[in-house]
Structure 1
Amino acid sequence: MIVIPMAGRSQRFFDAGYTLPKFMLPLGGESVFAHAVGSFAAYFASQVFMFIVAPDEDIIDFVAEEADRIGIENWRILPVDRPTAGQAETVEIGLDKGNIPDDAPITIFNIDTFRPGFEFPGAWFAGLDGWLEVFEGEGANWSYVRPAEGDLPLAAETAEKRRISNLCCTGLYHFARAGDFRAALAAERLAPQAAELYVAPLYNHLIGRGGKTGYSLIDPADVIFCGTPQEYQALLTPA
């Protein structure tokens, strides 16, 4: 299952004068939504897509129309009727409202990130409890993975807005079992590592109990970000 949490307020865009949520904005003849979700075009016929949205009829109608238009065969829209404490809680509400069983694998992805031609990593990753997608980058405003010692791409630690390595997350997070996500979030609530409940730090709870979390390293050129008005404008007027 591909889970797209998109119940945020797009506040930076509204503050910048935009009148639509960022995922509804036009970009190159498509919507930002179509670019982001189109990352998974190879799986439109094989994966269930869950869109977790604000309880706004215009948004619900837009997502339904776009999901049909771009060719997703099996999709669900789940409105969240209250503000949440962060992306992880938004996902939890969607999983619970959707009655997603604990043994179901879930892949979480941001609605403001594009991964053209995405494919799931190789078979080795299927044996892990979870994995994150990363690229080598700069700055201190990402989620991060600190690699474990050894030659295998395993994580020793994850962090949010705390630069523990140069491996920055693209916003794609996979859990082999939804139940692991739920248990990790419950543990995170007891001692949250950040002001919001982010997804990346949840992997520390899997790692702490002996679970294997990996990271899939991609080229920075293979990911496009559209989460701020500046990034959106840059995509509208490329150099």
Structure 2
Amino acid sequence: MLKIIIPLAGPSELFSNAGYYYPKPLIEINGKIMIEHVLQNPTSIKEIHRFIFIITEEDATKFHLDNVLKLLSQNCDVIKLKKPTKGGLCSTLMAIDKIDSNDSLLILNGDQILDIDFNDIIKFWQVESVDVGLLTFKSVHPRWSYARIENDSVVQTAEKNPISNNAIAGYYYFKNATDFFTASFESIKNDVQLDGMFYIAPIINQYILRNQRVKSVSIEAKAYHSFYSPQMVSEYERKTQQDDRKI
């Protein structure tokens, strides 16, 4: 089965500092909360799948985020964290009890929209028999993670370090859960962290070291919409409203 993991437990200081009361997944964008926008494309996946959301216990208690997620996706598990973890990788690993060893994984950022056909991309990974599949877009801003590509294969990844102009679009496909956990724990054992936090992108180097098959598909930058900051939310609202007026 395909398990789609969306970590939503990370801090959102840019929003709280800007005066937002609700946690990031519940911020309204064009009349819908952020997580509704995020789920719009993944819910169209035809392959048998199940969502796993990782949230804080505080957001469940104070804002009922767990109930919101179960209304949006009845086919899901919600994991509640009592304490902060050391980054997105560690939060993702908290889902280990909900994942079977032969599951494939799709890990998505909880603050982005991808204007792509998820079914076509997943089918491509399966046809290509990749161990890891990434989506990239052109950028050189150090806020993103990056992949260096040679001869159509990913040969290195890095977090918040533009080692190329191929920014990773917060989309990670892993063919086999056991391989994912092996790479994750090896990366943590080797203390591959940035400012005390562990991220998904660097574990892919463990796959590369084992000569496993890591590929990427490039998408246009305009197909990637990040809600990284309040300014990016405002830009998205402004653009979509302009597009609606043209119709």
What is the TM-score of this pair, normalised by structure 1?
0.89
Counterpart for residue 88 of structure 2: 87
Q: Distance in 2 between matches of 1:123 and 1:77?
A: 27
- The question of whether the paired residues in 1 share the 8 Å contact of 2:112 and 2:225 is answered with yes
Give the letter for the 2:71 counterpart.
Answer: D
Partner of 2:112: 113
Q: Give the conservation status (yes or no) of the 8 Å contact 2:5–2:105.
A: yes
The sequence identity of aligned pairs, in percent, is 25
Q: Secondary structure at the match of 1:33?
A: helix
Identify the residue that residue 194 of structure 1 maps to in structure 2: 194
Partner of residue 245, structure 2: none
Deviation at 1:225, TM superposition (A): 0.7
Q: After alignment, is 43-52 or 199-208 more displaced?
A: 43-52
What is the CA–CA distance in structure 2 between the aligned matches of 1:236 and 1:92, rounded to whole Å? 33
2:135 is aligned to 133
1:220 matched to which residue of 2? Answer: 221
User: What's 1:172 paired with?
Assistant: 171
Question: Aligned residue for 1:230?
Answer: 231
**Aligned partners of 1:105 and 1:177 also within 8 Å:** yes
5+ unaligned residues in a row in structure 1: which ranges?
none
1:135-189 deviations in Å (ceiling 9; x for gaps): 11232221111012x2xx3101111111111100110111111112211111111
Whether the aligned pair in 2 keeps the contact of 1:133 and 1:170 (CA below 8 Å) is yes
Query: In 2, distance between residues paired with 1:41 and 1:3?
Result: 12
Report the residue type matching 2:13 in the other structure. Answer: Q
Which residue of 2 is the match for residue 157 of structure 1?
156
Number of residues of Structure 1 aligned to a counterpart in Structure 2: 232
Whether the aligned pair in 2 keeps the contact of 1:3 and 1:106 (CA below 8 Å) is yes
Q: Is the 8 A contact 1:49 1:74 kept in 2?
A: yes
Q: Cα deviations across residues 32-68 of structure 1 (Å, max 9, x unaligned)? A: 1100111213127832011011013346733433542
Q: CA RMSD in A?
A: 2.0
Tell me how far apart the structure 1 counterparts of residues 208 and 228 of structure 2 sit (CA, whole Å). Answer: 29
For residues 87 and 113 of structure 2, what CA distance do their matches in structure 1 show? Answer: 21
Which amino acid letter does the alignment assign opposite residue 163 of structure 1?
P
TM-score of the aligned structures, taking structure 2 as reference length: 0.86
What code does the residue aligned with 1:36 have? Answer: V
Match runs of 1:10-29 below 5 Å: 10-29=12-31
The one-letter amino acid paired with 1:112 is D
> How big is the shift at 1:210?
1.4
